[in-house]
Structure 1
Amino acid sequence: MAETNDILEVAKMTISTSIKCNTVRGFIGWHSCDNICMDMHDVLDMCEDAFKRERYQESLEADTYVLVSGVKLASCADSSSGMLTDVIMRAFELIDLSTQTIAKLDAAMRKHALSLIIKEAKKKAFDGWDSWRYELLEKAVCLCDEKLAAKLEKLLDIFLEDIENDYMPEYKRQEDTILRYKLHRHLKGADAVKDELYANLYIREMCIIAVKDATDARNYNEAEKLCLEQIKKEDGRFYRNTPEDWNNILFDVYMQSGITDKQIEQAKKILLLGNEGFWDVLKRLYQSQGIWESQKPILLKELKQCKYSVCYRSVLVKENEKKLLLEAVTENPYNLFYYAQFLVMDYPNEIYELCANYIREQCAQATDRRLYKKVCKDLLQLIKWKGNATAKLLVDEFKATYPRRSALLDELQKVEKKL
């Protein structure tokens, strides 16, 4: 391993060599991009080792070099695998680790670290990548005293000078507002800049900060009010897999408040919006009140009536409610073969009949060998479920109905060998 005082030079040599070796005719494909990313991860490993040895400045310099290299790569390489994003996120984590540590050290080290971050943030590599530019500058907030803060705000002013010609000026204004607020909060404290926060609640991140502040202060009514306003503003939009969806945030507020009735109400709402993860949440809440068995059938009925059938079926699988699941797939054979695996042992005849009808429809619509193979794949699955008689009936039916489909007949012969 290289000595830590040489880590920046090693980083430069490693990354530049990797880029050169993985560039083919001026282009970096996704596989080549992944190779470069693996080398970048190796460099970040060295940065982390340097940090552990308390070589904070050296680590920070190399971290930022990796970050800027990653941002440049994002503009010219096929980074669709997602590995480059992992590199950039890890670089940010290590930069944050270094700045948080340096913030506790002497003024000279803080000034040097801030100057480094400002220098890197100015680079053209970040043009078109404003979110990453502002995220880098955010890592410098903890380094600032009044004097250094003025230096940082001067840079922010420069970034805003030509904002009207920017591709997304409103987004850039919001990033600027958020960063300035965090800087002012760092210098003056949360209470002193509360008006600044509430003046900008139209920005999602600012409102999330306000909710967190209210929750931390045990002002749950205020936190609830803020969430409900945002839910109304978003007019029913719900991003069930996003923890920072307002419905999910509101549930967290109720959890911290300890008000069980509101937890149940909100958990039920989120479940009926299609987030099956809240089935277990509701189950625990009802069990704590001793009313789960009486509430379960009511909840299943409501869930069936909502428009999120996949959520309903997932719950039925989880709860081993096979009779209700059979009713659901009988009414709508969507993704039949997936759900049939949970039912075929208990309801073989019903499943064979459903599968037969489905396979008939698919065969009638099939027009080429690729689709015929899919039909025969379903027939083979039916045989695995011991539905040989049904499968044979279908094979004979298809041979009689489609005698001129030579490709189909060819594929059916493979099925007959398994009967």
Structure 2
Amino acid sequence: MNIYHFENEINPIIYDRGYDYYLAGHIKESVNLGEREYLFTIEGTNEYEVFVKLDRHGNILDSFCDCPYDKGPVCKHEVAAYFQLLGIVQEDSNYQTNKPTTFHDVLNALTKEQLIEIIIDFTKDDETLEERLMFTYGKRDQEHELEYCRRLIRSIEDKYSGRDGFIHYDDVLDFANELEEVLEKAGDMDDLLVSTDIALIVFRAAVEAISYADDSSGAISFVTDRAILILDEISKISVENNNHKRAIFKKILTAVDEEDYEFWSDFQYDLLAVSMNYADDENMRSSLMNKVETLIERTDDRYLIKSLRSLMLKVKEKYESKEEAEKFLHEHIHYHSFRKKAIQQYLCDKEYEKVIALAKDSEEKDAQHLGLVLSWKKYRYEALKGLKLKEEQQLLARELFFAGDVDFYEELKKLTDDEEKLYEELKQKLKDLNTWRARNLLLELIEKENDLVELLQYVKEHPYHIEKYSEKLAEFFKDDVIEIYERFIKTIAANSSNRKEYRNVCQTIKKFSKVGGESKKTELVETLKALYKRRPAFLDELGKI
């Protein structure tokens, strides 16, 4: 990515938000650290630092922001920094490039009156643009701020929902992007109460839209996730600064009960999880737990009930006695997440017999879920290890090894007096099984022991591995490697039938030359030309090697 034309390589929403940050003067400080390294201080919900390193051509070698954004490679703060940095490097003769005229240059050359006229013309073609500009840049009191927010969202909904009231797949991304722009205002407000209201308004609109839009791309769900993240940031700031925390907690907790929307129950847990930021306050914690218990009584959604009880367990573990937390844990031990937590606690307390009993019970309960069964067996193995029950350890370690976990080979080695015999025995057993899982496990075992003779034999039987292991084997078995490589190339050539596949064959031949040398490569190319003289596309690609 280059500082002179980075706009096409960044999410359009992030690009626009970063540009708005730049125009609004959120960059408080720019520092040239030397060696084409720069540090920018940018004011947003909090104060963040952006580091950027360039080369002499303006290529961005490194870029980092310490904000919590994790939905993409570049955040809005970095984009704002790029715009600031663009102005710096354009005045610096040490950067060698043909500097193109940018959109920013064009706008900068216009007069204020020209810009106003252009914007007014655009608002005539885009019904939502005027609302967006008024919402983003207008100065209003709290009541009118929220009214403008609702008006803008209604205009966005009207813009993208067709006559049938449905937002189709092709329009969903643009719809979600415009909702995201409204949501970003919540992160830019100084008033935490207004920020909370805006985030909740957009959150409700996004949840409602899921019921009348084709959100198979997940674009609208991204907006709901972002709204929850902003509410979480707001709540943490309000607690830290003791700023409107009771009012914000009440707004979020009240929103949990809003069941007017079809998919609202899917998001109730997210709102309650945000409310957990206020649990240090006994009264608010009590209100939170009452809400959770009421919701559990009202819903028949098993997944939601499980999630809510997990939240209750977190509260009890942090704020109630150990005995109360353990009692609650065992009352709901049928949840595998609760069983896992109980087993981990037993292991920590070295109550190995309890680990074994609960793990075995869990293996029976989850017999239809192989992944869970293996996890319970691993816990059981740790308990057997703690009790130093060597024979039981060996049996279970073998079982886990043959289930595909090669790490248990190391455990078996610790439990045997003859490692060589163990290796040969396991190797033969895997060969006898001859399933795809056994073959993969055999290869991992051979690699662990760095058994080159066995590796060569494996590659002979499975030549498609030759590219990966050719250099490793060629040091000791060069002639064998060349023979396997040539056979592999001839096989893939025979199965190729279009130019893309012919190019892949030629790429493989180039790799082969690193082992076989130029003479072997030339000899193989001539052989293939003779074999496939009626395939002009293949001959053309072979001629380019």
Please give the range of the TM-score, normalised by the shorter of the 2 chains.
0.5 to 0.7
**Shift of residue 211 of structure 1?**
1.4
TM-score normalised over the length of structure 1: 0.65
Distance in 1, Cα, partners of 2:463 & 2:224: 39
CA distance in 2, matches of 1:70, 1:243: 40
1:126 Cα deviation (Å)? Answer: 9.4
Partner of 2:323: 191
Aligned-pair identity (%): 17
- Which amino acid counterpart does residue 269 of structure 2 have in structure 1? Y
Q: Which deviations, in whole Å up to 9, do the C-alpha atoms of 1:83-103 show, x marking residues without a partner?
A: 99997997798689779x77x
Q: Does structure 1 residue 153 correspond to structure 2 residue 290?
A: yes
Q: Which one-letter code corresponds to 1:205 in the other structure?
A: S
Paired residue secondary structure (1:343):
helix
Partner of 1:221: 353
Corresponding residue for 1:310? 440
Please report the TM-score for the alignment, with normalisation by the length of structure 2: 0.52
Check the 8 A contact 2:299/2:305 in 1, yes or no: no
CA spacing shift, 1:340–1:92, aligned 2, 3 Å: farther
Which of 364, 373, 377 aligns to 1:232? It is 364
- After TM superposition, the structure 1 stretch with the greater mean CA deviation from structure 2, 358-367 or 120-129, is 120-129
Question: Aligned Cα RMSD in Å?
Answer: 5.4
Q: Is the 8 A contact 1:372 1:408 kept in 2?
A: yes
Alignment of 1:9-88 (within 5 A): 26-28=171-173, 65=199, 72=206, 78=217
**1:53 matched residue in structure 2:** none
Match of 1:382 in 2: 512
Q: 1:194-343 maps to which residues of 2 (within 5 A)? A: 194=326, 196-235=328-367, 237-239=369-371, 245-251=375-381, 253=383, 257=386, 259=388, 261=390, 266=396, 268-279=398-409, 285=414, 295-301=422-428, 307-343=437-473
Query: Which residue of 516, 526, 534 maps to 1:404?
Result: 534
Q: Which has the larger radius of gyration?
A: 2
Structure 1 position 155, deviation (Å): 5.3
CA distance in 2, matches of 1:279, 1:351: 29
For residue 336 of structure 1, report the CA deviation from its aligned partner. Answer: 3.1
The answer to whether the 8 Å contact 1:111/1:148 transfers is: no
Q: How does 1:364-375 map to 2 (within 5 A)?
A: 364-375=494-505
Hey, what's the Cα distance between the residues in 2 that align with 1:123 and 1:373? 59
Query: 1:334–1:398: structure 2 CA closer, same or farther, 3 Å change rule?
Result: closer
Task: State how far apart, in whole Å, the 2-side matches of 1:276 and 1:389 are.
Answer: 41
Contact kept? 2:474, 2:515, Cα under 8 Å: yes
SS of alignment partner, residue 325 of structure 1: helix
More helix by proportion, 1 or 2?
A: 1
Alignment partner of 1:118 is 2:263: no
Contact 2:509 2:521 in 1 (8 A): yes
Give yes or no for contact 2:203–2:224 (8 Å, CA) kept in 1: no
**1-structure distance, mates of 2:335, 2:427:** 37
Residue of 306, 311, 317 corresponding to 1:174: 306
Note the C-alpha offset of 1:380: 1.6
Q: Which residue of 2 aligns with 1:348?
A: 478
Deviation at 1:264?
A: 6.2
Q: Is the 8 A contact 2:313 2:328 kept in 1?
A: yes
Q: Distance in 2 between matches of 1:94 and 1:280?
A: 45
Equivalent in 121, 137, 141 of residue 272 of structure 2: 137
> 1:41-67 CA deviation, whole Å, 9 max, x = no partner?
xx98x99xx9xxxxxx969x77x949x
CA distance in 1, matches of 2:381, 2:264: 33
* Corresponding residue SS for 1:245: helix
Deviation at 1:157, TM superposition (A): 2.9
Inter-CA distance 2–334: structure 2 relative to 1 (3 Å threshold)? closer
Shift in alpha-carbon separation, 1:113–1:70, aligned structure 2, 3 A: closer
Whole-Å Cα distance in 2 between the matches of residues 246 and 95 of structure 1? 39
Contact 1:111 1:143 in 2 (8 A): no
1:365: how far off? 1.6
Cα distance change on mapping 1:174 and 1:244 into 2, 3 Å: farther
Task: Check if 1:394 corresponds to 2:529.
Answer: no
Question: Structure 2: how far apart are the matches of 1:274 and 1:282?
Answer: 14
Deviation sequence 1:339-377 (CA, Å, 0-9, x none): 323212221211222222222221222111111111121
Contact preservation (8 Å) 1:118, 1:152: no
Report the number of matched residues: 376
Give the C-alpha shift of residue 238 in structure 1. 4.4
Q: Helix, strand or coil: the match of 1:345?
A: helix
2-side partners of 1:379 and 1:310: how far apart?
Answer: 26
- Per-residue deviation, 1:196: 4.5
C-alpha contact 1:352 1:387 (8 A) present in aligned 2: no
Q: Is the 8 A contact 1:28 1:77 kept in 2?
A: no
C-alpha distance 93-6 of structure 1, shift in aligned 2 (>3 A): closer
Instruction: Find the counterpart in structure 2 of residue 359 from structure 1.
Output: 489
User: Which stretches in structure 1 are left out of the alignment for 5+ residues?
Assistant: 51-56, 164-168
**Counterpart for residue 544 of structure 2:** 414
- C-alpha contact (below 8 Å) 1:96/1:139 kept by paired residues: yes
CA distance in 2, matches of 1:70, 1:392: 67
The change in CA–CA distance for 1:162 and 1:174 in structure 2 (over 3 A counts) is: closer
**Higher strand share goes to which structure?**
2
C-alpha separation in 1, matches of 2:439 and 2:313? 44
Superposed CA offset, 1:233-273 (max 9, x none): 3337544xx99933444455556x37484666655544433
Query: What residue ranges of structure 2 are gaps of 5+ in the alignment?
Result: 1-41, 49-75, 78-134, 138-148, 161-169
Distance 1:95 1:243 in 2: 41
Given that 1:223 and 1:253 are in contact with CA atoms closer than 8 Å, whether structure 2 keeps it comes out as: yes
Counterpart-to-counterpart distance in 1, 2:205 and 2:389: 46
SS in structure 2 of the partner of residue 386 of structure 1: helix
Q: Distance in 1 between the 2:254 and 2:204 partners?
A: 16
What is the Cα deviation at residue 325 of structure 1? 1.0
